[in-house]
Amino acid sequence: MSDPTASAPVPTASVSASEVPSPASRVPAPEPIRDIPAGESTLAGTVNTVPLDPRRPHVDPARPFGAHVRTRWWAPLVVIPVVLIGMLILQVISTFVTIPYELFIGGHSTEEFTNADAPTLTPVMMLGVNLSLIATGLLALLALRVIAGVPWRAAFAVGRRFSWGRLLRTAGVMAPVILVFFALMELLFPSVPMTGEAGFGITATGLALLAITVLTTPLQAAAEEVVFRGVIGEMVASWIRPASLALVVGIIASSLIFGASHGSVDPWLFAYYTIFGLSGALMARITDGLEASIAFHASNNTLLFIATALTIGDQGLTIDRSAGSGGPFMLVFIALDLLLVAIVWLLEKRRRARSAATDPARAVLDVPTTA
């Protein structure tokens, strides 16, 4: 089949946004982009001449993901506390529901849950934590829409639709890399805590943890990406007008809040969680959407808990985030996260090259496709 664009030469002359075509040309005058502050350039090279209306929130598709939301100045002051406090309340509710269940029905003792440095997380408690985080994601989307007046879809992508195909393809590339990394760490550095201490084996506790992991952990990871990369980062960035500065501030703020939310007082672990959040934010910026960051977060958590479920024996999952639980070995995990960022960058570069080959006009404007 011949190239349909071959018979139509691409015009070299350009028309300024301020020029108004004559009626005979039947070409409508380009409309100013209302979502961009006056005088700010767009990706298409036009310049907006209409100032932003502060009474109306907007989503600006010409700005990068993470800095594309414009809302009322006070909205982030309400949305961010509502989401973070809501997360805390939901986790407290989960604890007060699951611990009595484990004590009176599950047959566990109070000593198993009183070690603050390394608490035991049973499959039922893990289910409660995951469900509370999933509910937090829904709360964040509701707060974004009701309080900030921003469409909830803006939390997932800008300039295009959210793509499940893109998410699954990215996860298909990332998961084998993460799996190989986990296997190498277990073989080369057996002293580094990666899995359970009982060794490989199928137990009732392990099967329960495996089922909960497969059914809820991907959703838990997606919810955290929505909360931190899709809502909190956007809300912080909405205070700043220059797109580049807004993006940087939003990414830093959301990454630090993400690191602090894990409650670790160990500096190595805090650095790891913060850079993990930074990696997800960079992936979202590179692709103008959350698909890659969700694939990254979900693949990491799901594979780690599957490995744990197969080696946990009959014991609960021990999560130690106390001082001294981390160490320089965390640099290897940080290197993995940055490697995955590089992989996402290469995948996006390859996708855009294919898009340029099939749709040159779209490639010139650097507008993401819906694929």
Over residues 100-112, the pLDDT tens digits come to 888 777 666 666 6
Among residues 353, 350, 342, 355, the alpha carbon closest in space to that of 174 is found at 342
Q: What pLDDT score does 100 carry?
A: 86
Q: What pLDDT score does 57 carry?
A: 52
Question: Phi/psi at 31 (nearest 5 deg)?
Answer: -85, 140
Output the DSSP codes for 286-300. HHTBSHHHHHHHHHH
Alpha-carbon span 274 to 270, nearest angstrom: 6
30-39, 312-321, 332-341, range with the lowest pLDDT: 30-39
Question: Phi/psi at 157 (nearest 5 deg)?
Answer: -165, 160
Q: What pLDDT score does 329 carry?
A: 87
Q: What pLDDT score does 112 carry?
A: 64
Distance from chain centroid for Cα 328: 26
Specify whether the CB–CB gap between 226 and 155 falls below 8 A: yes
Flag whether pLDDT at 267 surpasses 80. Answer: yes
Flag whether pLDDT at 40 surpasses 50. Answer: no
pLDDT grade for 346, boundaries at 50, 70 and 90 = very high
Mapped onto helix, strand or coil, the DSSP state of residue 312 is coil
In this predicted model, what pLDDT tens digit does every residue of 141-166 receive, in sequence order?
Answer: 999 999 999 999 999 999 899 999 99
Place of tokens 């009626």: 23
Q: Please state the rounded mean pLDDT for residues 180-190.
A: 84
Flag whether pLDDT at 278 surpasses 80. Answer: yes
Alpha-carbon span 66 to 237, nearest angstrom: 7
Q: What pLDDT score does 198 carry?
A: 54
Q: Please state the rounded mean pLDDT for residues 320-328.
A: 81
Flag whether pLDDT at 41 surpasses 60. Answer: no
The two structure tokens encoding residue 297: 């977060």
Flag whether pLDDT at 27 surpasses 50. Answer: no
Query: For the chain, what is the mean pLDDT?
Result: 81
Alpha-carbon span 93 to 95, nearest angstrom: 5
Residues 6+ apart with CB under 8 A from 134: 216, 219, 220, 223
Distance from chain centroid for Cα 33: 28
Specify whether the CB–CB gap between 17 and 32 falls below 8 A: yes
pLDDT grade for 237, boundaries at 50, 70 and 90 = very high
Specify whether the CB–CB gap between 358 and 150 falls below 8 A: no
Residues 6+ apart with CB under 8 A from 252: 278
Q: Please state the rounded mean pLDDT for residues 279-286.
A: 97
In this predicted model, what pLDDT tens digit does every residue of 293-307 receive, in sequence order?
Answer: 999 999 999 999 998
Alpha-carbon span 286 to 289, nearest angstrom: 8
More confident residue, 323 or 232: 232
Among residues 150, 179, 173, 171, the alpha carbon closest in space to that of 293 is found at 171
- Angle in degrees, 0-180, between the axes of helices 75-104 and 243-261, rounded to the nearest 10: 20
Flag whether pLDDT at 49 surpasses 50. Answer: no
Q: What pLDDT score does 65 carry?
A: 95
The pTM (predicted TM-score) of the whole model is 0.80
Flag whether pLDDT at 243 surpasses 90. Answer: yes
Q: What pLDDT score does 254 carry?
A: 97
